[in-house]
Structure 1
Amino acid sequence: MDFKNIFMDNLPGLCWITDSHNVLKYANKYFLKNFNLSENVLGKKHEEIFGQDIAQGSHVNNLEVLRTKQNYEFYQTIRDEHGHPRYFKTYKFPLIGTEDDMVGAISFDISKNKRLEDELYQSDLQFRQAFEHSLVGMALISPEGKWLRINKSLCDMLGYSEEELQGFYIQDITYADDLEDNISYLRQLKDGKVDNLKVEKRYIHKDGSYVWVMISVTMLKDSMGYPLHYVSQIEDISNRKSIEEDLQLSEKKYRTIFENVQDVFYQTNQEGLVTEISPSIEHYSGYQREEILGRDVDKFYYYTQDRERIIEKLRTSGSVIDFEVRLKTKNHELRYASVNARLIIEDGIIKGTEGSMRDVTTRKFQENALKALNTELTASNEQKNKLLSIIGHDLRNPISGSLQLLDLTLTDFESTSADEVHNYLSMMKHELSNANELLEDLLSWAKAQFNSVSFSPNEITDIAGLIRKCIHNILPMAEKKSIVISQSVADGLTLTADKGMLETVLRNLISNAVKFSNKGGNINIKAVPYHKGVKFSVADNGLGIPKDKALQLFVKTSNYTTYGTAGEKGTGLGLNLCYDFVLKHGGQLWVHSESGKGSTFYFTIP
């Protein structure tokens, strides 16, 4: 058995022997297989097998080996049948003592190793470029924490040169408060408890200040699993930390204001649900903050139309200022609030609303009281002007006319007949009677305005008799116009009222009915039970009142008055007096009238 051939044939490489004439003497099976040759090539020159160029280079190598009698090692590239390069490492050595000088050769295919080396080189080159030119700090650190390799960005970040840092351990420049946690993190990596970590910590800058950093670190291990070094990426987050601290401070200030301000701050989302509201809401509404969050804001409006109004205003203007709404407390009490609000718009989309509310209930009540006082003062001024007008005109005219008649009578008394004197005195009586009636109304009205009129309600059982008394006082005036006055009172009717005030109301209403009735007219006075009181009515078939004027009759600021059918002049005080007296009893006064057909005045005494 030729052990030499067996060994050579099973060697994982190309083996061949060539003599000094460049003739192939031996080739193992890998050689033949690699070049797609058969054993027939043995004994042939290399020129015949591989061509002149390859054979020439091989022959030169062989001669050099034989001349120096030393081994020769070299690399060569040969393209395969597809044109792809293959890399070989070849060893040639002289075979001394053979019958002819020969050269033995062994060659190994290192194409795979070559590719791995190239890939490793490229990978290492890329790593070095990324490492050196990275905008974030990068470092290789030994398992013990010693700085091994540091890029420029990290040096700039910490103020040290690479050589200076290589003289330190990471513990030397770690902020004291962060050191214990930092050592714990690195130990977890080293022990394989975690594969990588991302932590925030502080390094001490060369100038003594500290630098906030975000570190992403992993442990690189060898093929046996033993730690080689830490690979760290270190990003300066000092600016971010400064902003976070400012935000925290701002948030703290905002929260302090938010929780202690008297106004109510709120936010709602697009669906109208409350997403935020300040605790001060409890003081005004009785609701805890937690009871309101997440609920529909509509639930807290006393009148839903207020919500609709503010939404419409926000939709058209984008904001509202001092917008008054009426809200509802937990006990369903009314609260007035002044709202300043705006739409929350992000990327052109309405996300909700935010604003502040201030309880203005006290202010609102004061405004209402002031308005009422102003109205009362305005009415008082109007009544004062009316009083002065009546005194200056209506009251002066009959007195002045009577004085003129008296002066005329006295001046020419001897030549004046008894009939003329009687006529003058009758006219004076008529004028003075009118003046006296007007004066009585003025006094009653003045007392009512200054609340000096006494109010003494007593039980009245003879309502029919009281109405007859009032008719009797007006009867002469009615007879002159041939007006028939009738009355109708329910049996057994009684009430509790101030008798003088009731007479004044009836007398004025009956007097007005006579004034505005035509000759031969009819007036009917009724009293009927009404709930627990009595309803009175005075109806005539006279002129009636235009609809627009009827609305002004009971408005104190109105000066509406007109002449009767016989030219009777009214003051406008009578109805005001009736209205006040009926109101003092807790009753109501109203009128139904149709122009040209007459009027019916109603009033109730509870």
Structure 2
Amino acid sequence: MAEKIEAVIVRKGTEDRVGQALRESDERFRKAFDYSAIGMALVSLSGRFLKVNSALCEITGYGEEELLAKTFQTITHVDDMVEEVAYTQKLIAGEIHHFTLEMRYIHKCGRIIWILLNVSLVRDECDSPLYFIAQIQDITERKQAEEMLRKSEKLNAVGQLAAGVAHEVRNPLTVLKGFIQLMQAQREDEQGHLALMMSEVEHIEAIITEFLVLAKPQAIRFQSNDLATIISHVAALISTRAVMNSIQISTRIAADLPHIECDENQIKQVFVNMLQNAVESMPGGGLIMITAARLGKDHVQIRFIDEGCGIAKERISHLGEPFYSNKEKGTGLGLMVSYKIIETHKGTIKVESRVGKGTVFTIILPVSQLVKKQHG
């Protein structure tokens, strides 16, 4: 009898120790989950969040209760949905044990977040699927850096090409232009054809000029400049062409708009390019609005708003790349140079557009070049 009692006591003590160990293990897991530096989530087989940690809330911008009321599908970028669902189905079927994907989530504020997603599946003792364990890392900055490097490498390649092309083409083009001018002075009966030839030569010259900017970037001379005056001068410069196309250019400049440190000629070049693109996008006429105002203490915001044909959503991310243009005869070099100039001025360009409604180019520039770049 005493032996049985002793056995029961020993068994009870063992069970208590096992129970304590399990509770401690669960507590360690809970703390590791809650305090992990990367996003963690337990997700049901249907995709609903069962448990999330604070890091995932910070990545997505949602509170814990908000995420628990959602599925992963509701925050996944539509273009990445099919691939992610396909992998989860393979997990459930036992074809794979885990998967890793670089994909996009939609932040609560609407912006795109690039994430590195690692997912595995928890099964019960009968090998039936229970729920997913997901680890989510925000890799947005890394993806942006990779994109900047890609564009930089492409820009360097274009610059090398530009130097050779500009040298080989400009000299014979100058001779050709001279002969056309000579013929215009002598052949009254061919003025129409000669004017067309001259127009095309000047178009080629404009492309070569853009090539030269890429091949030999001009030295930047930062000085304090009146931004309101720059905008007014550029608007006046383009107004004649705009009027010929039944387009009105209107400006709305804040009274407290400060002077900014910039290279006046380069900023004018950007603004001219913005207005020219706007005019060319409005063959049926309309209104172009330019607004300029302070943005916080250290920045200014300039917006070019047109009523043109608009740009398809999938094409916006390619603007600023060489030889990528939304125009039939465009080279993409004008916008590429504009992006480069604004980046050199520690500024940003953001594009919003709706096909058939119009486009808004928003430029943010620092008042002083000592101010850190503001990311849009």
Distance of 1:482 and 1:370 partners within structure 2: 43
Distance of 1:426 and 1:588 partners within structure 2: 39
Deviations 1:134-193 (A, max 9, x none): xxxxxxxxxxxxxxxxxxxxxxxxxxxxxxxxxxxxxxxxxxxxxxxxxxxxxxxxxxxx
Q: What are the residue-to-residue correspondences of 1:93-242 with 2, within 5 Å? A: none
The change in CA–CA distance for 1:522 and 1:372 in structure 2 (over 3 A counts) is closer
Residue number in structure 2 paired with 1:589 = 349
Offset at 1:294? 7.7
The change in CA–CA distance for 1:553 and 1:343 in structure 2 (over 3 A counts) is closer
Residue number in structure 1 paired with 2:330 = 570
Offset at 1:484? 3.2
Which amino acid counterpart does residue 572 of structure 1 have in structure 2?
G
**2:253 aligned to 484, 489, 492, which one?**
489
The change in CA–CA distance for 1:398 and 1:315 in structure 2 (over 3 A counts) is same
Residue number in structure 2 paired with 1:559 = 324
The change in CA–CA distance for 1:322 and 1:589 in structure 2 (over 3 A counts) is closer
Q: What are the residue-to-residue correspondences of 1:77-476 with 2, within 5 Å? A: 274=25, 296-305=31-40, 372=145, 376-377=149-150, 380-381=153-154, 384=157, 403=176, 406=179, 417-420=186-189, 426-427=195-196, 429-447=198-216, 453-460=218-225, 462-476=226-240
Offset at 1:494? 1.4
Which amino acid counterpart does residue 506 of structure 1 have in structure 2?
F
Which amino acid counterpart does residue 301 of structure 1 have in structure 2?
S
Cα pair 1:559 1:572 within 8 Å, conserved: yes
Cα pair 1:379 1:557 within 8 Å, conserved: no
Distance of 2:23 and 2:156 partners within structure 1: 52
Deviations 1:349-401 (A, max 9, x none): 99xxxxxxxxxx9xx99xx97994586246633774698599879x9699769
Offset at 1:562? 1.5
**1:548 aligned to 303, 313, 334, which one?**
313
Residue number in structure 2 paired with 1:536 = 302
**In the alignment, does 2:291 pair up with 1:522?**
no
Offset at 1:508? 0.7
Offset at 1:549? 4.8
The gaps in structure 2 that reach 5 residues or longer are 1-19, 45-49, 51-87, 102-115, 129-136, 367-376
Deviations 1:194-215 (A, max 9, x none): xxxxxxxxxxxxxxxxxxxxxx
The change in CA–CA distance for 1:323 and 1:579 in structure 2 (over 3 A counts) is closer
Offset at 1:572? 1.0
Which amino acid counterpart does residue 266 of structure 2 have in structure 1?
M
Offset at 1:507? 1.0
The gaps in structure 1 that reach 5 residues or longer are 1-268, 276-291, 325-336, 351-360, 564-568
Which amino acid counterpart does residue 37 of structure 2 have in structure 1?
Y
TM-score for the superposition, normalised by structure 1: 0.36
Which amino acid counterpart does residue 438 of structure 1 have in structure 2?
I
Distance of 1:322 and 1:520 partners within structure 2: 53
Computed over aligned residues only, the root mean square deviation of the Cα atoms, in angstroms, reads: 5.5
The change in CA–CA distance for 1:420 and 1:502 in structure 2 (over 3 A counts) is same
Which amino acid counterpart does residue 188 of structure 2 have in structure 1?
D
Which amino acid counterpart does residue 204 of structure 2 have in structure 1?
A
Cα pair 2:292 2:300 within 8 Å, conserved: yes
The DSSP-based 3-state class of the residue aligned with 2:321 is: coil
**In the alignment, does 2:270 pair up with 1:505?**
yes
Residue number in structure 2 paired with 1:579 = 339
Distance of 2:193 and 2:22 partners within structure 1: 87
Cα pair 1:524 1:538 within 8 Å, conserved: yes
Offset at 1:519? 5.6
The change in CA–CA distance for 1:304 and 1:436 in structure 2 (over 3 A counts) is closer
Offset at 1:469? 2.4
Distance of 2:228 and 2:121 partners within structure 1: 68
The DSSP-based 3-state class of the residue aligned with 1:305 is: strand
**In the alignment, does 2:365 pair up with 1:605?**
yes
The DSSP-based 3-state class of the residue aligned with 2:249 is: strand
Deviations 1:319-368 (A, max 9, x none): 968979xxxxxxxxxxxx9x9x998998x799xxxxxxxxxx9xx99xx9
The DSSP-based 3-state class of the residue aligned with 1:491 is: coil
Q: How many residues align?
A: 282
Cα pair 1:319 1:342 within 8 Å, conserved: no
The change in CA–CA distance for 1:573 and 1:584 in structure 2 (over 3 A counts) is same
Which amino acid counterpart does residue 302 of structure 1 have in structure 2?
A
The DSSP-based 3-state class of the residue aligned with 1:517 is: coil
The change in CA–CA distance for 1:349 and 1:479 in structure 2 (over 3 A counts) is closer
Distance of 1:426 and 1:308 partners within structure 2: 69
Distance of 2:21 and 2:316 partners within structure 1: 47
Distance of 2:227 and 2:302 partners within structure 1: 10
